[in-house]
Amino acid sequence: MISRTEEAGEPLTASWDLSKHVTAASALRVATARLTAAGIEGARRDARLLLSTILPGGASALLREPEQVLSGSELSRFQAAIGRRAKREPVSRVVGVREFWSLPFRVSPDTLDPRPDSETLIEGILEWVQDTSKPLRILDLGTGTGCLLLALLSELPAACGLGVDISEEALAVARDNAGNLELSGRADFACHDWTKGLTGAWDIVLSNPPYITEGEAALLEPEVSDYDPPAALIAGVDGLRDYRILIPGAADLLPAHGLLALEVGRGQANSVEEMLLAAGLNSPWRKRDLSGVERCCFAVKVKK
């Protein structure tokens, strides 16, 4: 459903006579035109997604009954949602949910919006694990929505994990997501600044830290710059600030043959691999995302 802040959106500028019946199909046409005029790529797709979250029957109802008449409440909510999207607010922010690894995750202004590119990290870890029945201990640094940890736990039924974040607000969202996915019994969350205060041995340590440079930040699309928390995006002049902090600490938490898995920005893999080797990790390798970008770096610890 549309999140509670929907009232912040402005009405559609196109003329709808609210004294007459408005069908789903006509509302969709007007909304698509509004988003197209606002420069939104995939305007019709986004309009359909937003309308399907409002209709009781969802997307299937929109396909089956395009001429169904919207109630006044449905039309008002749709107008508000389209107004927000026209201001470049991502659809996931408008509806309050983002799908990741085919699972629904609640998002908030305190969390990074999960990206499809980050699924590359999950794929790489699962390729390394091979035996999904292992009782692995997983540590997720900078967990945000908890999407990385919870996606892994959904694939590793004997594993358990801890997600840490410096933001208590983000941790509250992660806990909600764990509960909604019925994974609370195997997922804990705690407030830490990267690895500070953490102890024990973790078979897998993973992180998608901030890696955007200060120069790149000025070039971000409004959907990112205006709605993702800057602290989850930007990492100094070269984008490597947080890797320098977390890699040595993460290496200390790995047992022999433990894995460190990191998402990295475009062109950062060489620098991150150097840090992995300097921290005493071995045999680093990389994995490309669907766009061909070297998106993840992995390394194992041979000796404790």
209 is in an annotated binding site: yes
144 is in an annotated binding site: yes
208 is in an annotated binding site: yes
157 is in an annotated binding site: no
Domain 4-95, CATH homologous superfamily name and number: Ubiquitin-associated (UBA) domain (1.10.8.10)
**Edge-first strand listing for the sheet containing 282-288:** 187-191, 160-165, 137-141, 204-207, 259-263, 294-300, 282-288
109 is in an annotated binding site: no
143 is in an annotated binding site: yes
Coil/strand/helix, residue 138 = strand
Strands (E), 125-215: 137-141, 160-165, 187-191, 204-207
Q: Where are the domains of the chain?
A: 4-95, 108-300
Secondary element (H or E) of residue 246: helix 241-252
Confidence (pLDDT) at 20: 63
195 is in an annotated binding site: no
| pLDDT for residue 277 is more than 90 | yes
pTM: 0.89
Query: Higher pLDDT residue, 95 or 61?
Result: 95
193 is in an annotated binding site: no
Q: Read off the pLDDT of each residue in 96-121 and give the average, rounded to a whole number.
A: 97
Q: CA 23 to CA 99: how far, in whole Å?
A: 28
Confidence (pLDDT) at 66: 86
97: CB partners within 8 A, 6+ apart: 104, 105, 106, 107
Helix, strand, coil content of the chain in percent (nearest 5): 40, 15, 40
CATH topology of domain 108-300: Rossmann fold (3.40.50)
Averaged pLDDT of the chain: 92
Q: What is the pLDDT of residues 9-45, one digit of tens each?
A: 444 444 555 546 889 999 999 999 999 999 999 999 9
243 is in an annotated binding site: no
Q: What is the pLDDT of residues 157-208, one digit of tens each?
A: 999 999 999 999 999 999 999 999 999 999 999 999 999 999 999 999 999 9
| pLDDT for residue 124 is more than 80 | yes
Confidence (pLDDT) at 21: 80
Confidence (pLDDT) at 105: 98
Residue type, 10: E
